[in-house]
């Protein structure tokens, strides 16, 4: 927290904030510091100006336009799906999970640290390949990896705390799960939730999906111990495996591929009534 606070003193104001306060030259300097060329910076400035001139319609648009409601509900659905993968169960209860896998408190604490580090490093997979491979293929692979890894963990822990080398297989599978999440469902859900919303309703759509993310996060985090008591360790991980497997057809049927597609094109197809999975490529 202290490092984050200190780092805030070195973060520049955003170009949008500077434009809101009538400081376009300062906005251009920030864009230049971020690596924008002169032409790119002017294009970004023009886009920000257009957005600032456009009045957000938000809830009024949600009530009046059924096509906008579709994108809002898709964003909400994506955030629910992200939380039902079980990621924050692992993040919140990692020490207990590793103790249940047969590790002592000290080893469980170290394993928890490795989980966090793996999450950070695996995110770079998405950064490197999201615009090369596309959103849908990576997202599909993400859910497949998480389903398989959770299924294996459930099988290994179904009979109680594993022993010997099996404990390390459990750790390996949980790290594979983290990689699956961090390379796909973690970052890509947030990207898609922004890309699928039309400009006039983007603030409202993103606000709805963000609220849903935290609500689903709370629900999953507060029901995990109940699931453990009801289904046992093996059954609980099998449940998350089944959910991740079920999310694959959800992606294939409803999520658009937005790689290389302009936001204007996505908006035009959405508001024109195209099926959700076809508003992208």
| pLDDT tens-digit series, residues 52-96 | 777 777 888 899 999 999 999 999 999 999 999 999 888 888 887
214-224 pLDDT, tens digit each: 999 999 999 99
How far apart, in whole angstroms, are the C-alpha atoms of residue 38 and residue 112? 45
Least confident window among 154-158, 164-168, 202-206, 254-258: 164-168
Give the residue range(s) of CATH 1.10.286 domains in the chain.
2-53
User: For residue 229, what are its two tokens?
Assistant: 């008591």
Q: Which CATH architecture has domain 2-53?
A: Orthogonal Bundle (1.10)
Residue with tokens 């023009």: 46
- Residue 103 region by backbone torsions, left for phi larger than 0, else alpha for psi between -120 and 50, else beta: beta
- Indicate whether this model's pTM tops 0.85: no
173-199 pLDDT, tens digit each: 999 999 999 999 999 999 999 999 998
**Which of 255, 259, 260 shows the shortest CA–CA distance to 270?**
255
Helix (H, G, I), strand (E, B) or coil at 256: coil
Q: Which fold has domain 58-278?
A: Growth Hormone; Chain: A; (1.20.1250)
Give the residue range(s) of CATH 1.20.1250.20 domains in the chain.
58-278
């Amino acid at each position: 927290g202290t490092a984050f606070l200190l780092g805030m003193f070195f973060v520049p104001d955003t170009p949008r904030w500077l434009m809101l306060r009538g400081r376009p030259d300062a906005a251009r300097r920030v864009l230049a510091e971020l690596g924008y060329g002169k032409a790119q910076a002017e294009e970004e400035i023009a886009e920000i100006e257009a957005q600032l001139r456009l009045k957000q319609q938000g809830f009024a648009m949600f009530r009046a336009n059924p096509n906008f409601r579709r994108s809002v509900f898709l964003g909400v659905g994506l955030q629910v799906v992200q939380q039902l993968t079980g990621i924050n169960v692992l993040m919140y209860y990692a020490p207990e999970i590793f103790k249940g896998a047969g590790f002592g408190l000290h080893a469980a604490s170290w394993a928890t640290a490795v989980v966090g580090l793996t999450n950070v490093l695996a995110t770079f997979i998405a950064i490197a390949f999201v615009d090369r491979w596309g959103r849908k293929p990576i997202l599909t692979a993400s859910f497949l990896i998480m389903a398989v890894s959770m299924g294996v963990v459930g099988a290994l822990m179904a009979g109680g705390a594993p022993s010997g080398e099996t404990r390390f297989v459990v750790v390996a599978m949980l790290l594979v799960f983290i990689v699956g999440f961090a390379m796909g469902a973690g970052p890509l859900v947030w990207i898609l939730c922004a890309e699928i919303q039309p400009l006039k309703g983007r603030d409202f759509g993103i606000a709805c999906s963000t609220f849903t993310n935290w609500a689903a996060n709370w629900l999953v985090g507060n029901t995990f111990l109940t699931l453990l008591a009801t289904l046992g360790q093996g059954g609980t991980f099998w449940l998350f495996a089944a959910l991740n497997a079920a999310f694959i057809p959800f992606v294939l049927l409803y999520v658009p591929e937005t790689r290389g597609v302009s936001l204007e094109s996505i908006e035009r197809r959405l508001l024109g009534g195209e099926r959700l999975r076809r508003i992208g490529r």
